[in-house]
């Protein structure tokens, strides 16, 4: 399986743009009400000085991380009847998500899907599993 991954990355690099840290996520499209989160690095030492073994933080029910990409939002259903005054070029409309790229999110791990991309671990999380957002801008 490791050889397949190496071949896949070679195809990606020769077929299109070279993946760098600045354009690494441009090819990814997050679908619907989901967000892509890079989990924060867990602290290896508690406030009382105990060293935690690897994997302890990963088993927590709640984790936090930075939002990398967001989906378009919740799709609004289109009416079934055709109206003569409507134009045919109206596309799908979405209710936007509260989460934005760059926010710090605290989320439930039980609602998240863990994925590996470019050798790093990420979570795909529906907006319903996000408990709290921290944003740098003022309200």
pTM (two decimals): 0.70
Residues 30 and 70: beta-carbon distance below 8 Å: yes
Task: Give CA–CA dist 101/28, Å, rounded.
Answer: 13
What pLDDT, on the 0 to 100 scale, is given for residue 29?
87
Give mean pLDDT, residues 117-121: 85
44: pLDDT confidence band, cut at 50, 70 and 90?
A: low
Predicted pLDDT at 2: 41
**Ranges of each domain in the chain:** 28-78+88-134
Among the residues of the chain, which ranges form H helices? 2-15
Please tell me the predicted confidence (pLDDT) of residue 56.
65
3-class secondary-structure state, position 59? helix
What is the C-alpha to C-alpha distance for residues 115 and 120, in angstroms, rounded to an integer?
A: 8
List pLDDT tens digits, range 45-89: 666 776 666 666 667 788 889 999 999 999 888 766 666 676 666
User: What tokens were used for 59?
Assistant: 């088993």
- In angstroms, what CA-CA distances link 73 with 47, 57, 97, 111, 134? 38, 30, 5, 17, 19
Give CATH superfamily name and number for 28-78+88-134: GroES chaperonin (2.30.33.40)
Count CA atoms within 13 Å of residue 137 on its CB side.
6
Task: Give me the pLDDT at residue 70, please.
Answer: 94
The b-or-e profile of 60-90 (16+ CB within 10 A means b, else e) is: eeebbbebbbbbbbeeeeeeeeeeeeeeeee
- The pLDDT of residue 5 is 39
Beta bridge partners of 126: 34
Per-residue pLDDT of 17-42, as tens digits, reads 444 555 677 788 889 999 999 998 76
pLDDT of residue 101: 92
């Amino acid at each position: 399986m490791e050889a397949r991954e190496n071949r896949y990355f070679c195809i990606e690099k020769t077929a299109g743009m070279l993946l760098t840290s600045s354009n690494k996520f441009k090819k990814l499209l997050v679908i619907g009400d989901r967000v892509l989160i890079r989990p924060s690095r867990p602290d290896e030492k508690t406030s009382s000085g105990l060293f935690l073994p690897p994997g302890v933080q990963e088993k927590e029910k709640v984790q936090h991380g930075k939002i990398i990409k967001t989906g378009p939002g919740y799709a609004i259903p289109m009416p079934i009847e055709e109206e003569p005054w409507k134009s045919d070029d109206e596309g799908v409309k979405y209710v936007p998500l509260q989460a934005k790229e760059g926010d710090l999110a605290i989320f439930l791990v039980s609602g998240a899907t863990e994925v590996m991309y470019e050798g790093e671990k990420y979570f795909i999380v529906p907006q319903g599993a996000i408990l709290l957002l921290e944003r740098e801008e003022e309200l």
